[in-house]
Amino acid sequence: MATEDVKAKTTKKKEKVAPKPADLALDVASQEMIARSREMEIETIFDRAQTMKPCNIGVQGTCCKNCAQGPCRLPLPKSGIEGKDTRKGLCGATPETIAARNFARMVAGGAAAHSDHGRGVAETFLAAARKETHDYSIKDTKKLLEIAPDFGVEITVEGEDGQVMDRDIDEIALEVAEKALAQWGQQQGEVMTVKRAPAPRYELWKKLGVVPRGIDREIVEIMHRTHIGVDQDYENIVEQCSRAAIADGWGGSMIATDLQDILFGCPYPVKSSANLGILKEDHVNIIIHGHEPLLSEMIVQAAELPEMIELAKKNGAKGIQLGGICCTANEILMRHGVPLAGNFLQQELAIVTGAVDAMVVDVQCIMENIANVADCFHTKIITTNPRAKIASGHCLHIEFDEHTAFEDAKRIVQTAIENFPNREKEVIIPDQRHDLVAGFSYEAINYHLGGTFRGSYVPLNDNIINGRIRGIGGVVGCNNARTMLDDGHITVIKELIKHDVIVLTTGCNAIACAKAGLLTPESAKVFCGPGLAEVCETVGIPPVLHMGSCVDNSRILMAATEVVKAGGLGNDISDVPVAGSAPEWMSEKAISIGHYFVVSGVYTVFGVTFPVSGAPVFEDYLYNKLEGIYGGMWDLEADPIKHAHKMIAHIDKKRKALGIDKARERVLMDMADRQKLEAA
């Protein structure tokens, strides 16, 4: 071949055409902003995902860098393993040990993130109970009284005359606060909230010796065991993962959710809207992004102050528009109806509109590159948490302290307002926003199904037993730039509801559903199978119930527990026709959540990729053997339709085991059937 031809061929090979925005994101608003970022030559995660490919060995979970003799890299040979697997790290660590250690460190990272969030909430709760802050107080006394006994706190007291009286609420709050905070540093005994699980589940954990002793202790022990030369038995490592994950889901995350509900109110159904179209050109736009509601609750109040609205007007705006990204978004949506601006992969794109006057961030899922994108606009990035700063001259740090919370929030809102006149680039806001109904705490589901006086999960169970509802899908989790934004989420969920599986959602999945219009009762008749559509229509609920943020996956555990308690669907979560899923996961928190779903008895499928493929024996342990121990197991399925059908197959397996599989052969409902359903 002539030299010129070779050159032409090589150059041609190098000229890789960037994928079209429509191939990178499902929603039109994101597509428009990806296109705009390209026109403006602003690099985003969508570009980096093309130029940087993931490491082939890390993806398999078999790269170890736990000591300075490595990294030791043990990729699976292309031809597979024939005979004995002789791969070893320098110290002799097998692929199984390495993949298990990496998996365990992800559980530790995820559990630590959730639980440290929970600790922050518990500390604020204690400050409120001690009346050290005027900015927070006990709002939901009903929930306080409900959870107090779980911490061994009496809610009544016997008077001198032998009469039983209600105890003082402040006293109860203080005792609950102290007991709750003690769960983190506890060294012996059991994390107290773990006993909320159905009795057979708790007994199984006791038998297996995986009831967590203290939240921090189990996380620290993972880090110890995965140090070079400690735990070299993948089954034993997974056992410790189970302790830490239970300490997260049934401990740190659950306590965070409870105490947030008591401080800010338990969520009940609320209407709002979602996507970048919620931003307003003539308003000061403040995006709140991250995970903790402690600050965002204060910002919501500060933004409503007449003096702030007046200041906004003085600066040329018509008012103040708040919008959320990631789980902070879910927190303030659930309790105040603040609209959702977008999910994880939309954080840079929100700034690209040119309409964001401040993006206020706390902790978790905040991409460092928002500082670079903000640099191209007038947007101020305001970090607020001492744990999460961004080393960029363009970021402002206004530290948030629970003792001066409202004043801090006012400073932040004021900073955003004063930045409004500094807009320099053209503002382009995609005309995309969808209505939604959110706020389905497990208490709200109880109320919605059964009414104020006879709130109960019995109607849900009845409809599962009679086959109108096939089962329950818990579909949650992140976006992942290695796959099309929201495509996995929406394809999986549409397939589930089409087959009469009701979906409980949290996190960025919930935001994806909101953008796709799946969080409205009206969506039921468009997307659901006849049975689920009938139930949603009768009860007036969407087929996808938004339960909150990442820590609120604990609400899904409690909903599953309520289903068990309502009767007729077995004695434990592992008996219920339920399956879990994270179609676009990416964070370590997703691994901790997945593992506490699995050890709670739930078959859990992840999409995109799973970092264990380089260690087939360990992979088989997670995907198959765990079912024999916990009744739940992991699985991976990247194809969203197959992913949904694996969940449906599991749900059908559970229906069969319960003897309710025949109930699905049903005729269309007549008026008498509808009346029966309403009366259930």
The residues of the shown chain that bind ligand SF4, judged by CB under 6 A, are 64-67, 69-72, 89-91, 93, 98, 228
CB of residue 533 vs ligand MSK: minimum separation in angstroms?
A: 28
Q: Which two tokens stand for residue 49?
A: 């995902």
Binds 90, which of ligand MSK, ligand SF4, none (CB < 5 to 8 A, cut-off by type)? ligand SF4
Q: Which two tokens stand for residue 131?
A: 């009346």
Binds 67, which of ligand SF4, ligand MSK, none (CB < 5 to 8 A, cut-off by type)? ligand SF4
Binds 365, which of ligand SF4, ligand MSK, none (CB < 5 to 8 A, cut-off by type)? ligand MSK
Binds 507, which of ligand MSK, ligand SF4, none (CB < 5 to 8 A, cut-off by type)? ligand MSK
Q: Give the three-state DSSP class for 617.
A: helix
Q: Is 165 exposed, middle or buried (0-12, 13-18, 19+ CB in 10 A)?
A: exposed
AA letter at 365? C
Q: Is 249 in the site for ligand MSK (CB under 6 A)?
A: no
Report the C-alpha dihedral over residues 558, 561, 566, 567, rounded to 10 degrees: 170
Q: Site for ligand MSK (CB under 6 A): how many residues?
A: 13
Binds 478, which of ligand SF4, ligand MSK, none (CB < 5 to 8 A, cut-off by type)? ligand MSK
Strand partners, 166: 156
Binds 344, which of ligand MSK, ligand SF4, none (CB < 5 to 8 A, cut-off by type)? ligand MSK
Q: Is 365 in the site for ligand MSK (CB under 6 A)?
A: yes
Single residue of 198, 269, 474, 507 touching ligand MSK by CB under 6 A: 507
Q: Is 326 in the site for ligand MSK (CB under 6 A)?
A: yes
In sequence order, what are the residues at sequence separation of 6 or more whose Cβ sits closer than 8 angstroms to the Cβ of residue 180? Answer: 122, 125, 151, 255, 258, 259
Residue 414 near residue 311, CB atoms below 8 Å: yes
Give the nearer residue to ligand MSK in terms of CB position, either 104 or 327. Answer: 327
User: How far is 291 from 325, CA to CA, in rounded Å?
Assistant: 9
Binds 508, which of ligand SF4, ligand MSK, none (CB < 5 to 8 A, cut-off by type)? ligand MSK
The dihedral region occupied by 391, where left means phi > 0, alpha psi between -120 and 50, and beta the remainder, is beta
Give the nearer residue to ligand SF4 in terms of CB position, either 229 or 451. Answer: 229
H-state helical runs in 573-667: 588-599, 616-620, 626-630, 640-658
H-state helical runs in 451-539: 458-465, 487-498, 507-515, 523-527, 530-539
Q: Is 349 in the site for ligand MSK (CB under 6 A)?
A: no
CB of residue 73 vs ligand SF4: minimum separation in angstroms?
A: 9
Q: Give the CA count within 13 Å in the CB-facing half-sphere of 669.
A: 22
Q: Give the three-state DSSP class for 388.
A: strand
Q: Is 529 in the site for ligand MSK (CB under 6 A)?
A: no
Q: What's the distance, CA 340 to chain centroid?
A: 15
77 upstream amide cis, omega within 30 of 0? no
* Burial letters 340-378, b for 16+ CB under 10 A, else e: bbbbbbbbbbbbbbbbbbbbbbbbbbbbebbbbbbbbbb
Give the nearer residue to ligand SF4 in terms of CB position, either 73 or 655. Answer: 73
Give the nearer residue to ligand SF4 in terms of CB position, either 200 or 616. Answer: 616
Single residue of 153, 478, 558, 680 touching ligand MSK by CB under 6 A: 478
CB of residue 609 vs ligand MSK: minimum separation in angstroms?
A: 15
CB of residue 280 vs ligand SF4: minimum separation in angstroms?
A: 53
User: How far is 374 from 508, CA to CA, in rounded Å?
Assistant: 22
Q: Is 117 in the site for ligand MSK (CB under 6 A)?
A: no
Give the nearer residue to ligand SF4 in terms of CB position, either 228 or 663. Answer: 228
CB of residue 63 vs ligand SF4: minimum separation in angstroms?
A: 9
Question: Residue 596: which of 201, 250, 219 has the closest Cα?
Answer: 250
Q: What's the distance, CA 453 to chain centroid?
A: 31
CB of residue 67 vs ligand SF4: minimum separation in angstroms?
A: 3
Give the nearer residue to ligand SF4 in terms of CB position, either 88 or 394. Answer: 88
Binds 93, which of ligand MSK, ligand SF4, none (CB < 5 to 8 A, cut-off by type)? ligand SF4
Question: According to CB under 6 A, which residues from 533 to 592 bind ligand MSK?
Answer: 549-550, 587, 589
Binds 66, which of ligand SF4, ligand MSK, none (CB < 5 to 8 A, cut-off by type)? ligand SF4
Q: Give the three-state DSSP class for 579.
A: strand
User: How far is 622 from 183, CA to CA, in rounded Å?
Assistant: 29
Residue 216 near residue 246, CB atoms below 8 Å: no
CB of residue 88 vs ligand SF4: minimum separation in angstroms?
A: 8
Question: Residue 660: which of 568, 564, 530, 574 has the closest Cα?
Answer: 568
User: How far is 6 from 332, CA to CA, in rounded Å?
Assistant: 59
Binds 70, which of ligand SF4, ligand MSK, none (CB < 5 to 8 A, cut-off by type)? ligand SF4
CB of residue 513 vs ligand MSK: minimum separation in angstroms?
A: 12
Q: Is 144 in the site for ligand MSK (CB under 6 A)?
A: no
CB of residue 506 vs ligand MSK: minimum separation in angstroms?
A: 7
Q: Give the three-state DSSP class for 158.
A: strand
Q: Give the three-state DSSP class for 434.
A: strand
CB of residue 611 vs ligand MSK: minimum separation in angstroms?
A: 16
Binds 587, which of ligand MSK, ligand SF4, none (CB < 5 to 8 A, cut-off by type)? ligand MSK
Q: Is 300 in the site for ligand MSK (CB under 6 A)?
A: no
Q: Is 246 in the site for ligand MSK (CB under 6 A)?
A: no
CB of residue 102 vs ligand SF4: minimum separation in angstroms?
A: 10
CB of residue 507 vs ligand MSK: minimum separation in angstroms?
A: 3
CB of residue 9 vs ligand MSK: minimum separation in angstroms?
A: 41
Single residue of 429, 484, 508, 626 touching ligand MSK by CB under 6 A: 508
Q: Is 512 in the site for ligand MSK (CB under 6 A)?
A: no
Give the nearer residue to ligand SF4 in terms of CB position, either 108 or 298. Answer: 108
CB of residue 241 vs ligand SF4: minimum separation in angstroms?
A: 18
Q: Is 489 in the site for ligand MSK (CB under 6 A)?
A: no
Binds 72, which of ligand SF4, ligand MSK, none (CB < 5 to 8 A, cut-off by type)? ligand SF4
Binds 69, which of ligand MSK, ligand SF4, none (CB < 5 to 8 A, cut-off by type)? ligand SF4
Q: Give the CA count within 13 Å in the CB-facing half-sphere of 655.
A: 26
CB of residue 591 vs ligand SF4: minimum separation in angstroms?
A: 20
Binds 305, which of ligand MSK, ligand SF4, none (CB < 5 to 8 A, cut-off by type)? none
Order the strands of the 544-546 sheet from edge to edge.
544-546, 501-505, 471-475, 578-582, 603-606, 634-636
In sequence order, what are the residues at sequence separation of 6 or more whose Cβ sits closer than 8 angstroms to the Cβ of residue 445? Answer: 457, 460, 545, 559, 562
User: How far is 102 from 19, CA to CA, in rounded Å?
Assistant: 32
Q: Is 370 in the site for ligand MSK (CB under 6 A)?
A: no
- DSSP calls for 87-131: ---TT---HHHHHHHHHHHHHHHHHHHHHHHHHHHHHHHHHHHTT
Q: Residues interacting with ligand MSK, by CB under 6 A? A: 291, 326-327, 344, 365, 477-478, 507-508, 549-550, 587, 589
